[in-house]
């Protein structure tokens, strides 16, 4: 079988162009340019890259962006004060605090301090709760991007068996919730994780697998039903001396052996990653419009 390669990079470029058009219209009509702020603590390589890409995406969409940086030794009180300032800043429509945070800072406490109306990551308890019961909210960017990819590639999810690998608050849990909901996936959802005894068997029965466990090559060919759709959320940095940066990004799926079995599959890089940032832009546009 020759699988359809789900091109997240190209899809994200189309959506960013759509957003840029809308921003042009808003500004031409005297409206305010959307403004996203990002708070970055320390110098974690992955976080630096994410935040840099978020700033670039803001430029591509015609948004204003602000980057607020702190060193690793920032205190929790300083960070909470920063969140308070951003909550009250009328020029900022939405903001994110890039995770992970250093161990001496309670990330949950910082997240809970964010005004839900500016929580474009959709991580605050108010937005999570609203999402679970199907109320208007900010949907976390990675699951939202996956849903959008499935929709744009006309992949049927209603009534299908979907296995989500991973139960993180950022990806696994919200992904499972969305895939279950009538308005999004309308699928039969199973969540598997590091302690699932029947993980392989569950995967083998799945029409759609969403892999978000952060273990390179975890999903192997013997776990995939012929014709399945496989979405790879993994982006682990694997040392690779042949690459200019000394590493490459590895997905959770053994692409080489799994792809030939699939009806459709996302590559890493160029699959889910670009969509995630693009959905953050959509959430920021939603915030700027006061929706």
Would you please indicate which residues are annotated as catalytic (active-site) residues? 54, 98, 121
Q: Find the binder of ligand GUN among 11, 65, 98, 190 (CB under 6 A).
A: 98
Find, among 212, 230, 120, the residue nearest to 173 by Cα. Answer: 212
Stretches 19-27, 70-78, 92-100, 206-214: which one binds ligand GUN (CB under 6 A)?
92-100
128 near ligand GUN (CB under 6 A): no
* CB nearer ligand GUN, residue 150 or residue 212: 212
End-to-end CA distance of the chain: 43
Number of residues located near ligand GUN, criterion CB under 6 A: 7
Q: Which one, 190 or 276, has the nearer CB to ligand GUN?
A: 276
Q: Would you count residue 146 as binding ligand GUN (CB under 6 A)?
A: no
- Number of residues assigned to the chain: 291
**Residue 119 near ligand GUN by CB under 6 A:** no
CA distances to 107, 145, 183, 252, 283 from 94, in Å: 18, 18, 25, 31, 8
Q: How far is the CB of 194 from ligand GUN (least distance, A)?
A: 19
Where does this chain touch ligand GUN (CB under 6 A) — which range of 59-67, 83-91, 96-104, 245-253?
Answer: 96-104
Among 36, 83, 96, 228, binds ligand GUN (CB under 6 A): 96
**Closest approach of Cβ 177 to ligand GUN, in Å?**
16
Residues near ligand GUN (CB under 6 A) are 96-99, 121, 141, 170
């Amino acid at each position: 079988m020759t699988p359809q390669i789900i091109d997240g990079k190209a899809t994200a470029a189309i959506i960013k162009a759509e957003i840029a058009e809308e921003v042009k219209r808003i500004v031409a009509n005297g409206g305010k340019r959307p403004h996203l702020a990002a708070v970055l603590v320390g110098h974690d390589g992955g976080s630096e890259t994410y935040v840099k890409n978020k700033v670039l995406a803001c430029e591509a969409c015609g948004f204003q962006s602000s980057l607020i940086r702190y060193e690793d030794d920032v205190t929790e009180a300083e960070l909470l004060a920063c969140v308070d300032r951003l909550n009250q800043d009328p020029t900022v429509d939405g903001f994110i605090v890039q995770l992970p945070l250093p161990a001496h800072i309670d990330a949950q406490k910082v997240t809970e301090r964010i005004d839900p109306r500016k929580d474009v990551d959709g991580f605050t308890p108010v937005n999570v709760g609203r999402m679970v019961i199907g109320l208007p909210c900010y949907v976390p960017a990675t699951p939202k991007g996956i849903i959008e990819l499935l929709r744009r590639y006309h992949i049927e999810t209603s009534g299908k068996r979907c296995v989500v690998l991973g139960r993180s608050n950022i990806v696994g849990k919200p992904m499972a919730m969305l895939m279950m909901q009538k308005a999004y996936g309308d699928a039969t959802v199973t969540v598997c994780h590091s302690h699932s005894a029947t993980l392989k068997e569950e995967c083998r029965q799945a029409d759609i697998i969403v892999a978000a466990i952060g273990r390179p090559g975890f999903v192997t060919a013997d776990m995939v039903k012929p014709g399945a759709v496989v979405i790879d959320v993994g982006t682990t940095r694997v040392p690779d001396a042949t690459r200019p940066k000394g590493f490459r990004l590895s997905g959770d799926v053994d692409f080489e052996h799994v792809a030939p079995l699939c009806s459709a599959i996302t590559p890493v890089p160029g699959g889910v990653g670009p969509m995630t940032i693009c959905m953050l832009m959509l959430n920021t546009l939603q915030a700027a419009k006061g929706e």
